[in-house]
Structure 1
Amino acid sequence: MTPKYSILMVCMGNICRSPTAEAVLRHLVQEAELGDRVRIDSAGTLDYHVGSPPDRRSQEHATKRGYDLSKLRARQVAASDFEEFDLILAMDWQNLGELEEMCPPQHRRKLMRLMEFAPPGINDIVPDPYTGGPLMFERVLDQVEAACRGLLVFIRNRLATAPS
């Protein structure tokens, strides 16, 4: 059996940062021809936007870089996510704290911040661009791209060392 790996990206409302991270990682995974072995999803810690598409500005900025967020819809983190996903990545410390509160103890090892996969010297969180201008959305993309490139290396290593 071919090993598989699953990742859940998490922010507050699942309309800006986490869908952006989902789309960027999905793009990189497809380019690496690992699409059939890696499951990627996103969710929010809050239920404010359940069922909504990603923020229009997130979609516009992502489209300029070749990422399609249009088919994504916001959802809230579910209890089953902690069981189903191998890695759950928070966009900031607040989201990580909320995930830690929700997460059963046996799954806490799955919780990390996305920016832990970024090269040194980049911010340790993905800032929320919701109340910011165009530069904030570009900054989010820059940071997410950098972290997802590091995450792809991590995924490849996990898949290579996973039992068949």
Structure 2
Amino acid sequence: MKRVLFVCLGNICRSPMAEAVMHDLVEQRGLSNSIKVDSAATSSWHVGEVPHKGTQKKLKEFGISTSGMKGRQLSDEDFKAFDYIVGMDSSNVQNIREMLGQPDHPKIFRFLDLTPHRKDVPDPYYTGDFQETYELVVDGCEALLHKILADLE
């Protein structure tokens, strides 16, 4: 069993989008017993809130559910519980490392570093561009799933 945690600033746009997309990919491939997915925030601003309406709308276009998802903040227990802690941008990765007291642990990395994009996932809360975020999230989830499957072998 491998466990993945996606992390962004508020846990209402990017990280829940990544959680939902990865969950969908895992289910499509019949891997639900091998891979578990969750998401969290570095801030406490949106704890208990459902994903942003733009995230929900974009995912609904592709038949991907956000049912039951609620914002939560990253905790010390997450470092023990997850095999991959994936920050959606460089600032998130830095904050994760500081919050968890892990300045250079390989299980903490930037989401798109596994793709040819090798950049930050822009925050649609500020850009308003949920389509760009969705496309990058799909690419990143496919790349991460490939890595996880290789790690499971």
Return the index of the structure with the highest Cα Rg: 1
Identical residues among aligned pairs (%): 37
**What is aligned with 1:129?**
124
Q: Is the 8 A contact 1:117 1:148 kept in 2?
A: no
Aligned length: 153
Offset of residue 106 of structure 1: 8.7
**What is aligned with 2:37?**
40
Offset of residue 123 of structure 1: 5.3
Deviations 1:71-114, CA, capped at 9 Å, x for gaps: 20000001100111001000001101101112234982210011
Which aligned pairs between 1:84-123 and structure 2 lie closer than 5 A?
Answer: 84-105=81-102, 108-118=105-115, 120=116, 122=117
Q: Aligned-residue CA RMSD in angstroms?
A: 1.4
Give the Cα–Cα distance (whole angstroms) in 2 for the partners of residues 83 and 91 of structure 1. Answer: 20
Q: Runs of 5+ in structure 2 lacking a partner?
A: none
Tell me the amino acid that sits aligned with residue 107 of structure 2: K
Q: 1:140 aligns with which of 109, 133, 137?
A: 133
**What is aligned with 1:72?**
69
Tell me the amino acid that sits aligned with residue 147 of structure 1: G
Runs of 4+ residues over 6 Å off in structure 1:
none
Matched, 1:51 2:48: yes
Tell me the amino acid that sits aligned with residue 67 of structure 2: S
**What is aligned with 2:143?**
150
Give the Cα–Cα distance (whole angstroms) in 1 for the partners of residues 41 and 4 of structure 2. Answer: 14
Tell me the amino acid that sits aligned with residue 45 of structure 2: Y
Q: Is the 8 A contact 2:97 2:104 kept in 1?
A: no
Tell me the amino acid that sits aligned with residue 29 of structure 2: A
Give the Cα–Cα distance (whole angstroms) in 2 for the partners of residues 50 and 44 of structure 1. Answer: 8
Give the Cα–Cα distance (whole angstroms) in 2 for the partners of residues 42 and 105 of structure 1. Answer: 18
Q: TM-score, normalised by structure 2?
A: 0.95
Deviations 1:22-62, CA, capped at 9 Å, x for gaps: 00011111111111111100000000000000001110011
Q: Residues 90, 106 of structure 1: CA spacing in aligned structure 2 closer, same or farther, 3 A cutoff?
A: closer
Q: Is the 8 A contact 1:61 1:137 kept in 2?
A: yes
